[in-house]
C-alpha cells in the first residue's frame, strides 16, 4: 500500500527535522557529559587529596606522640619542637579535611571525634608537667610506652574508619562515573543511528522526487507512454514506474457523450413508419 501525498509530505519534513533534532540532542549530550566528567574528575581529585591528608595526619600524630613521650621521659626541651610542629600540622590537616568534606556528614562526624581524641590524648602543657630527671627508670619507660601505643591505637582506629569510608565513597563515585560514560555512549550511538535513518529517509524521498521530475514521452495519437523502449498504456506505466494500481471509471462528460451516441445510434437504426 502506497503512502498518500500528505503522508509523504509529513515523512519528508520529518526526515529533514530529525537530523537537526538529533544534532541538537548530541550537542546537549556532549555538554552534559563534559559537565559530568569535570565533576567526576574534580570529585576524584578531591578524594585523593582527602586520603593523602588523612595519611599525613596519621604521620603527624605519630610524630607528636613521640615528641610528647620523649619530653615526659627526659624533660629535654628539644622534644617539644617536633611535638609542637606535629600538633600544629594535625590542627591544620583537620581544618583542611573539614573544608574538603563539607558535604559529607559522616566524615564531619569522624573528624569531630578525631579532633576530640587529639585534644584529650595529645594536648598537654609542659609547664604543668613535673620535670623529670635526665634519665627515667624502666617502669616509667614501660608505662609511657604502653600509654603511647594505646593512644595511637585509639586514634588510628578513627583514622582507619575515616579512610575506609572515604575509599568506599570514591569507589562508588567512580562506578557511577563509569555507568554515566556507558550511558552517554549508548545515547550517542542511538542518536547517530537516528541521524543515519533520517538521512536515508531523506535520500529515498529525494530519489522519488527526482523520478517524478523526469520527462515523460506520451503518444499524441494513442495516449500511450514510452517506458524503456516500450509503449505502454498509462495505467501500465504507472504500475511499472511507481507501483500505482489504477482503476477505471467514466467521467460525467464521457458518460453524457456515450448516452448521446447510443441515442443517435438507436434513432438511426429505427425503421420508418409504414404508409397508411
- Is residue 44 helix, strand or coil? helix
Same domain, 46 and 159: yes
Alpha-carbon separation of residue 79 from 70, 88, 119, 184 (angstroms): 6, 15, 19, 58
- Structural domain total, the chain: 2
The answer to whether the CB of 202 falls within 8 A of the CB of 16 is yes
Same domain, 171 and 235: no
Tell me the HSE value of 1 on the side-chain side, using a 13 A CA sphere.
Answer: 2
Same domain, 113 and 229: no
Same domain, 45 and 142: yes
**Domain of 31, in residue numbers:** 5-208
Task: Out of 190, 208, 226, pick the residue that ends a domain.
Answer: 208
Q: What pLDDT, on the 0 to 100 scale, is given for residue 1?
A: 42
Q: What pLDDT, on the 0 to 100 scale, is given for residue 155?
A: 83
Same domain, 155 and 244: no
Same domain, 13 and 109: yes
Give dist(CA 124, CA 59) in Å, integer: 19
Instruction: Specify if 274 maps to a domain.
Output: no
Per-residue pLDDT tens digits of the chain, which is 276 residues long: 445 556 666 766 766 676 677 667 767 766 666 666 677 777 778 888 998 999 999 999 989 888 888 887 887 888 889 999 999 999 999 999 999 999 889 899 999 999 998 888 888 877 776 655 544 554 555 565 677 678 778 888 888 888 888 888 888 877 877 777 777 777 777 777 777 777 777 777 667 666 655 667 888 888 888 888 888 888 888 787 767 777 777 788 877 887 887 877 777 766 665 554
Amino acid at each position: 500500500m502506497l503512502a498518500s501525498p500528505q503522508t509523504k509530505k509529513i515523512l519528508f519534513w520529518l526526515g529533514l527535522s530529525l537530523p537537526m533534532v538529533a544534532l541538537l540532542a548530541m550537542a546537549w549530550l556532549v555538554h552534559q557529559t563534559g559537565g559530568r566528567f569535570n565533576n567526576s574528575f574534580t570529585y576524584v581529585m578531591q578524594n585523593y587529596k582527602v586520603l593523602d591528608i588523612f595519611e599525613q595526619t596519621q604521620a603527624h600524630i605519630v610524630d607528636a606522640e613521640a615528641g610528647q613521650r620523649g619530653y615526659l621521659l627526659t624533660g629535654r626541651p628539644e622534644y617539644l619542637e617536633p611535638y609542637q610542629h606535629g600538633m600544629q600540622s594535625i590542627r591544620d590537616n583537620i581544618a583542611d579535611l573539614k573544608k574538603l568534606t563539607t558535604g559529607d556528614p559522616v566524615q564531619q562526624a569522624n573528624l569531630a571525634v578525631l579532633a576530640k581524641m587529639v585534644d584529650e590524648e595529645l594536648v598537654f602543657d609542659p609547664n604543668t608537667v613535673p620535670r623529670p630527671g635526665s634519665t627515667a627508670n624502666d617502669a616509667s619507660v614501660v608505662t609511657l610506652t604502653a600509654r603511647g601505643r594505646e593512644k595511637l591505637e585509639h586514634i588510628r582506629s578513627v583514622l582507619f574508619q575515616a579512610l575506609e569510608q572515604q575509599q568506599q565513597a570514591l569507589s562508588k563515585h567512580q562506578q557511577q562515573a563509569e555507568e554515566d560514560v556507558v550511558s552517554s555512549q549508548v545515547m550517542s550511538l542511538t542518536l547517530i543511528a537516528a541521524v543515519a535513518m533520517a538521512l536515508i529517509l531523506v535520500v529515498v524521498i529525494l530519489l522519488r522526487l527526482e523520478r517524478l521530475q523526469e520527462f515523460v514521452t506520451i503518444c499524441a495519437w494513442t495516449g500511450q507512454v514510452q517506458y524503456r523502449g516500450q509503449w505502454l498504456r498509462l495505467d501500465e506505466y504507472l504500475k511499472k514506474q511507481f507501483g500505482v494500481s489504477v482503476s477505471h471509471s467514466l467521467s460525467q462528460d464521457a458518460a453524457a457523450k456515450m448516452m448521446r451516441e447510443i441515442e443517435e445510434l438507436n434513432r438511426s437504426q429505427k425503421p420508418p413508419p409504414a404508409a397508411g
